[in-house]
Amino acid sequence: MNLANCRIIELSHALYPGQEEYPYDVQNSPVEELIPHYRGKVPPGQWYIMSRLQLWSHTGTHMEAPWHYRQNGNDVAAIPLKRTVGECAFIDLQGKAVGEPISRDELQAKGKHVRRGDIVFVYTGYGHLYRSERSHDRPWFEPEAIRWLAEDLRIACLGVDCSGTEDRGQTGQPNHQLLFEHDIPLIEHLANLDQITQKRVFVVAVPLRLHGSDASPLSVIAFEPLA
């Protein structure tokens, strides 16, 4: 891949302290207040800080690991790079109403270009509601649609631009179960999917290697070949 012949697109939301649904806060302190051996070694008036971050694993654009819903599943540190770096099929499913299901037939019709083992990103058009009172307004995926991705195509990873894939009126998380049974990580709250113009792009989506965590915020970068 020649980067000079690609558009590079950031697909993650920026995080702002005190403004996220799942908390993100920053406390900045002079380094010498946090690390004893720096005391007396910083010139007077020199700006030299370190930030203490407090955030949830599901803050902002984040990747969920099987351990989120399966006690014996892998945590986010164990997600292999082959699942999060590679060819990505982009499926445009704009036009669905809030609370409307996405069926297997619809997903297959719009996703004929999806190949076995692909990363798959689904554009619902609801990403602009992020960080608003309507941030959970979205359509949802029928379990058979997820089954097609997970079992028939054995996709590497699924990403959506909204807050989730489940029917919010239903108990349980059947779509999470289907994905995580096959060790397929899930990315929620992707940003800027409206900037993707082609059906296939190259994606780098690498979470923090947080041992013992069910999920991690992350940056997702798409490389789209210039037409």
79 with 104, same domain: the answer is: yes
Q: What is the pTM of this model?
A: 0.95
Distance between alpha carbon 182 and the CA centroid of its chain, in Å? 18
> What confidence tier does 164 reach under pLDDT thresholds 50, 70, 90?
very high
Q: Range of 87's domain?
A: 3-14+60-225
* Backbone phi, psi, residue 85, to 5°: -130, 120
pLDDT of residue 1 exceeding 80: no
DSSP 180: H
Write the CA distances from 164 to 37, 61, 79, 83, 143, integer angstroms. 46, 11, 20, 19, 13
Question: Quick one: 175 and 146 in the same domain?
Answer: yes
Identify the pLDDT of residue 133: 94
118, part of any domain: yes
Shared-domain flag, residues 144 and 118: yes
3-state secondary structure of 108: helix
- What is the average pLDDT across 179-190? 98
Q: Is 113 found in the same domain as 211? A: yes
Residue 145: the pLDDT is: 99
Rounded to whole angstroms, how far apart are CA atoms 184 and 176?
A: 9
Domains contained in the chain, number: 2
Determine, yes or no, domain membership for 19: no
Q: Is 8 exposed, middle or buried (0-12, 13-18, 19+ CB in 10 A)?
A: exposed
Confidence of residue 104 (pLDDT cuts 50, 70, 90): very high
